[in-house]
Amino acid sequence: MEKETTKKKHSRVVAAVIMRNDRYLCMQRCRSKYEYISERWEFPGGKVEDGESDHEALLREIREEMDWDVYVGRRIGTIDHEYPDFSITVAAYLCRGGDTDDFKLLEHLGYKWLTRDELGQLAWTAADERLIETME
Ligand SMILES: Nc1nc2c([nH]c(=O)n2[C@H]2C[C@H](O)[C@@H](COP(=O)(O)OP(=O)(O)OP(=O)(O)O)O2)c(=O)[nH]1
C-alpha cells in the first residue's frame, strides 16, 4: 500500500533538437541502471537545476556533455512522460551548432545526423519517441 502512494520523483528536463541543413543530431545515452533508457537515443540536454532558465540549462548541459556552444531557438514541444521509476517534463528547443562536428562525446556513446524520415530507425527513449511524433 505504502508503495502505491509513494510519489515518483519528477524532473524538468531540457532537450536540444539540433538541426543542420535537413538533419537532426541524435545522441546515444550511456548504459544506465534503468534498462528502459539504457543506451537509448535522445536529444542532448538534461535536468534543469533550481533557479536556472531552460535556456541556461541547455547551454550548461551541452557544454558539460559535448564541450559545444549552441544557439537556442524556439521551443518546439513539451512532453510529460512517466517512466517506471520517475517522471519527467521534457521541453525541446530547436537549436543550431557550428558547421563542423567539433564537439566531444563526454557523456554519450555515439551520434548520428539523420533526416526526419530516418529518425524512426533508432531506439529512442519513450519520451522522445512521443516528441518526434509531434515534429513535422
Ligand atoms: N537529456 C535528455 N534526457 C532525456 C531525453 N528524453 C528522456 O526521456 N530523457 C530522460 C533521461 C533522463 O532520465 C532524464 C535526463 O537526465 P540526464 O541524466 O540526461 O540529465 P542530468 O545529467 O542533468 O542528470 P543527472 O545524471 O545529473 O541525474 O530525462 C532527452 O531527449 N534528452
Interface pTM, i.e. ipTM:
0.95
Expressed in angstroms and rounded, the spacing between residue 12 Cα and the centre of ligand 1 is 9
The pLDDT value given to residue 136 = 75
pLDDT for res 106: 98
Are the CB atoms for 68 and 45 separated by under 8 Å?
Answer: no
Residue 136, classed as helix, strand or coil, is coil
Which residues does residue 14 pair with via DSSP β-bridges, in sequence order?
Answer: 46, 91
Radius of gyration of the chain from Cα atoms? Answer: 15
CATH number of the domain to which 77 belongs: 3.90.79.10
Q: Which residue range is the domain that position 67 belongs to?
A: 2-134
Split into its structural domains, the chain has a count of 1
Q: How far is CA 30 from CA 9, 11, 116, in A?
A: 21, 19, 23
From 11, 14, 37, 47, mutation site for ligand 1 pocket: most ligand atoms within 8 A of C-beta? 47
Give CA 30 to chain center in angstroms.
13
Find the 48 Cα to ligand 1 centroid distance in Å: 10
User: With bands split at pLDDT 50, 70 and 90, how would you rate the model's confidence at 2?
Assistant: low
pLDDT one-digit tens code per residue, 9-21: 999 999 999 999 9
13: which 3 cell numbers? 528536463
The grid coordinates of residue 118 equal 530516418
